[in-house]
Amino acid sequence: MFIGHVATAYAAKRLAPRVSLGTLFAAAQLPDVLWPFLLLTGVEHATIAPGDTAVSPLRYDSYPVSHSLLTVVAWGAAFAAVHFWRKRRPLDALVLAALVAGHWVLDFVSHRADMPLWPGGPRLGLGLWSSVPATIAVELAMVAAGLWLALSATRARDRFGRWGFAGLAALLLLIYAANVTGPPPPSIQAVAWVGVVGAVLFIGLAAWIDRHREPA
């Protein structure tokens, strides 16, 4: 999933309204934030293979560090521990840990059987990506629910807080549509670099917009 992960970040605003939306975005997408760097350094591997699933042109050959259940839980614990050390808010830290761990659960639902339980361990997956209509229906429903929860938990301080929030959601939906309908990427290196730039851009935008909103 892509926008499904973002949807959980929006939804988490209801449970942790004082946590920056940028931080929630980073937690929900943490395995995908780490993955491009591991691809570029050759630690993990993927192949452009259109048709491997109906939704994604990528075949995930090996990603034990960024996407195994064991390491994802460990990344979540580390992310939450750093946030707790800085903010001293146990509930917020718990929400962040759950967001990171939830990334594996959503990928388990989406992917074919390529999600490892631990590095070198068995791989699982329910294969939602075998159906484009089902994937779109599930992810758009998640986004609608996530945005509603975020809007019910926060309010805009100014116009930028209102229109920036709407604009970011619209931009995410446009990119999602392009990902689902567009051609395969030219190379794995291009995928990795787009992932790096996208993570910086969207986490930064979410954090900036969130400064113009406040808990309701």
Helix or strand holding residue 215 (H, E): strand 213-215
pLDDT, position 209: 97
**Mean pLDDT, range 136-160, rounded to an integer:** 97
pLDDT at 75: 98
Model confidence at 2, in pLDDT bands (50, 70, 90)? confident
Tokens of 93: 């830290």
| pLDDT for 115 | 98
For residue 42, pLDDT beyond 80: yes
- Is-above-0.85 flag for pTM? yes
Average confidence (pLDDT) over 110-125: 97
Asked if residue 21 has pLDDT above 90, the reply is yes
What percent of the residues of the chain are helix, what percent strand, and what percent coil, each to the nearest 5? 65, 10, 25
What pLDDT was estimated at residue 111? Answer: 97
Q: Spell out the domain ranges in the chain.
A: 3-215
Q: Are strands 115-116 and 123-124 parallel, antiparallel or unpaired?
A: antiparallel
Token pair recorded at residue 24: 């929630």
Q: Give 63-86 pLDDT, tens digit per residue.
A: 999 999 999 999 999 999 999 999
Is pLDDT above 80 for 1? no
Q: Is the pLDDT of residue 37 over 90?
A: yes
